[in-house]
């Protein structure tokens, strides 16, 4: 009787784990971004497996990471070539070969709906990228180190700009945020608006309106304009003029 009771408890625990895994591993769709571009998965979707690892179809991830993928039917393995890196990943094995070096994995690749599903973090990091999990949006963000450097530079610029606006430091604000620089940064933040809304908002909502067309005054080309910048729940209105490719403030 005691043995049957123990077996019943074990069975119920296993059933609970299965229900938990199905409910939380599959119910909510995982979105994956590579350098700001959302990866489209037409059939097999990313999911979190029983080892709490995000699994993705290798074919679609590899296309965004710039690698080539080949299926080795004889050895039941996937072969990935990326620049000078060769990755060999056998289905069902908790290890991989990276340039012939054995790397231990905490979960194994599987076949799901005729798609090879691989652990996302291992694949992304093998491509020399940074991986971040955003629980609020159930998203995985993969960023190349080149783009990461640009992100850091832009964030630092924004931080200094916020302080200069708060302090109403006209000279520093103008040096950081000419209309040309705004147009340079705008596409970057438009691309990342969904992933970093707090940083993207000032640029995506900034409005630059020229109130006059070009005029020639004392043989100099003059353009007048007004820039509206939303920062810290405030909107800063900056009136400026441009004389021979150099911007000057009229009012702040």
What is the residue extent of each domain of the chain?
26-127, 146-251
pTM assigned to the model:
0.57
CATH architecture assigned to 26-127: 2-Layer Sandwich (3.30)
CA atoms of 225 and 180, how far apart (whole Å): 12
CA atoms of 175 and 178, how far apart (whole Å): 7
**What's the pLDDT tens digit per position in 12-70?**
444 444 444 444 444 578 999 988 788 999 888 999 999 999 999 998 888 888 899 99
**What's the pLDDT tens digit per position in 133-157?**
888 888 898 988 877 777 777 777 7
Pair of tokens at residue 153? 């530079």
């Amino acid at each position: 009787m005691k043995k049957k009771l123990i077996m019943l408890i074990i069975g119920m625990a296993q059933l609970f784990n299965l229900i938990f895994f199905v409910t939380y591993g599959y119910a909510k769709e995982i979105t994956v971004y590579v350098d700001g571009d959302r990866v489209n998965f037409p059939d097999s979707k990313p999911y979190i497996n029983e080892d709490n690892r995000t699994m993705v179809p290798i074919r679609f991830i590899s296309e965004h990471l710039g690698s080539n993928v080949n299926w080795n039917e004889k050895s039941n393995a996937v072969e990935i070539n990326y620049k000078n890196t060769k990755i060999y990943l056998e289905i069902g094995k908790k290890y991989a070969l990276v340039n012939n070096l054995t790397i231990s994995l905490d979960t194994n690749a599987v076949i799901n709906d005729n798609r090879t599903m691989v652990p996302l973090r291992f694949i992304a990091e093998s491509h020399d990228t940074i991986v971040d999990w955003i629980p609020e949006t159930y998203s995985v963000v993969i960023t190349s180190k080149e783009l990461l450097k640009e992100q850091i530079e832009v964030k630092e610029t924004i931080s200094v700009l916020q302080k200069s606006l708060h302090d109403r430091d006209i000279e520093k604000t103008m040096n950081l945020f000419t209309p040309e620089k705004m147009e340079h940064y705008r596409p970057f933040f438009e691309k990342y608006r969904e992933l970093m809304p707090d940083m993207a908002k000032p640029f995506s909502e900034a409005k630059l309106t020229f109130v006059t067309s070009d005029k020639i005054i004392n043989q100099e080309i003059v353009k007048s304009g007004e820039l509206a910048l939303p920062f810290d729940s405030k909107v800063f209105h900056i009136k400026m003029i441009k004389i021979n490719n150099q911007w000057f403030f009229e009012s702040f």
